[in-house]
Chains A and B, each alone.
Chain A
Amino acid sequence: DIQMTQSPSSLSASVGDRITITCRASQRIDIYLNWYQHKPGKAPKLLIYAASSLQSGVPSRFSGSASGTDFTLTISSLQAEDFASYYCQQSFNTPLTFGGGTKVEI
């Protein structure tokens, strides 16, 4: 199974900050890497698919990039509504696997 190692597990930031979350795959997954935002009591929301494609309706302050087996989610200017947990997910093969998550706190 492909292991997804996400870091950091949590971070504290302020409105307006630029933050970066990293996900490392245990083997090659090409660009089959997706990012989700999850707020308590809500359904998770797709942000980025195929490593760097922005899902329709998602603000442009969210971006994704890839370098080998390392993937990055960047929020260029953190907004109040962005405080949530973020998860990466590989779709290169089954079983599909998620990273452990990153909780972004104020």
Chain B
Amino acid sequence: EVQLVESGGGLVQPGRSLRLSCAVSGFTFDRYAMHWVRQAPGKGLEWVSGISYNSATRSYADSVKGRFTISRDNSKNSLSLEMNSLRAEDTALYYCVKDARTIADYFDYWGQGTLVTVSS
């Protein structure tokens, strides 16, 4: 059974940093791209960042480029998102998402999400 379990969310002040993690199981992690997708309160889904199966390609939404960094450790079946210079508009539920391909395509499994609240 595919499982994606996010952690690391919480309340953080504007301008500070936070690191999200995702532990995965139930599939061969190093064969698939992975992503972070978020949903702000009352808003729709927004793709945040993606990383190819071998970390060679990393992509970001314009809204987080230069502030967020995605990484993966294939030896530990884990995905991370380092978030710096956080803003109120980064407040959202962050989902860890498995791609169906080795590079960015469509999302076949999603975690339950971890909530990030940016507020003073």
Contacts and interface: CB of A to CB of B under 8 A. Distances in A.
A interface secondary structure, majority: loop
Contact of B45 (A45, A50, A55, A98): A98
Contacts, number: 59
Interface residues of B, number: 22
B59 A91 contact: no
Interface residues of A, number: 24
Nearest to A103: B44
Q: What are the 9 A-B residue pairs with the smallest beta carbon separation, nearest first?
A: A43-B110, A94-B59, A34-B106, A101-B44, A96-B47, A49-B106, A91-B105, A98-B45, A95-B61
Interface of A: 1, 32, 34, 36, 38, 43-46, 49-50, 55, 85, 87, 89, 91, 94-101
Interface of B: 35, 37, 44-47, 50, 59-62, 95, 100, 104-108, 110-113
A44 B106 CA distance: 12
